[in-house]
Amino acid sequence: MAAQKENVDLLLAEGFKELACQQPIEKITIKAITDKAGVIRPTFYNHFQDKYELLEWIVRVQVLEPAKPLIFAGMVDEALVLIFTTVLKEKTFYEKAIRLEGQNSFEGTVKKCIEDVLLEVIHSKKQNRKKAHPWLTAEHVSQYYAQSMCFVVVNWIKSGMAVEPKEITGIYNYMITRSMSQVIEEL
């Protein structure tokens, strides 16, 4: 039964992505998604609340889930390259998705998904170690890194994804591993 749900989720996601490449996401109807997927409208609502939850599923399951084992193994650079490569493979879809703003913005969705993954990683590794500072909670750390990663992903998409995945990973690492004063001096 789980495999059947996964197949329907995938059909809906693929139909949604195809439609998003042809028209603004705001104008895509649930009926259009279900018609494209070859399922009836109530089936959509058995899987997702709305098209924005479907978009979140795409980001979470198709982009971040494949990278999670690498992150858990401490292979963050490899995970970042995989994430950027996955997005680049569906360049047109993500260039359309990035245009979503407001309450259901693509940027907000991406940030939340990254934050959730980072929290999961932090909680899995968390021992009874003494914190460097009480303010450095798992939530604050995951929010910080999610914000910085989201900034790079969003601006990379907006700039046309001209920089290769391995190179943009290097750029991210450059910025995140140096102090602000170092980066300013090196510009």
User: Residues 78, 34: one domain?
Assistant: no
User: Residues 26, 81: one domain?
Assistant: no
| Percent of the chain topping pLDDT 90 | 86
pTM above 0.85, yes or no: yes
CATH number at residue 174: 1.10.357.10
Cα separation, 54 vs 154, whole angstroms? 19
Per-residue pLDDT, averaged over 95-124, amounts to: 94
Cα separation, 55 vs 98, whole angstroms? 11
Tell me what pLDDT residue 125 has: 80
User: Residues 38, 116: one domain?
Assistant: no
User: Residues 83, 37: one domain?
Assistant: no
User: Residues 80, 129: one domain?
Assistant: yes
Report the SS3 class of residue 97.
helix
pLDDT, tens only, 65-90: 999 999 999 999 999 999 999 999 99
Return the residue matching tokens 């705001």. 26
User: Residues 73, 136: one domain?
Assistant: yes
- Position 128 pLDDT exceeds 70: no
User: Residues 177, 97: one domain?
Assistant: yes
Q: Are 54 and 16 in contact (CB under 8 A)?
A: yes
CB neighbour list of residue 119: distance below 8 Å, 6 or more residues apart: 138, 139, 142
User: Residues 140, 91: one domain?
Assistant: yes
**Domain limits for position 181:** 55-186
Cα separation, 185 vs 124, whole angstroms? 37
User: Residues 83, 150: one domain?
Assistant: yes
* Closest C-alpha among 56, 59, 32, 61 to residue 44: 32
**How many structural domains are present in the chain?**
2
Per-residue pLDDT, averaged over 78-103, amounts to: 97
User: Residues 81, 126: one domain?
Assistant: yes
Tell me what pLDDT residue 150 has: 95
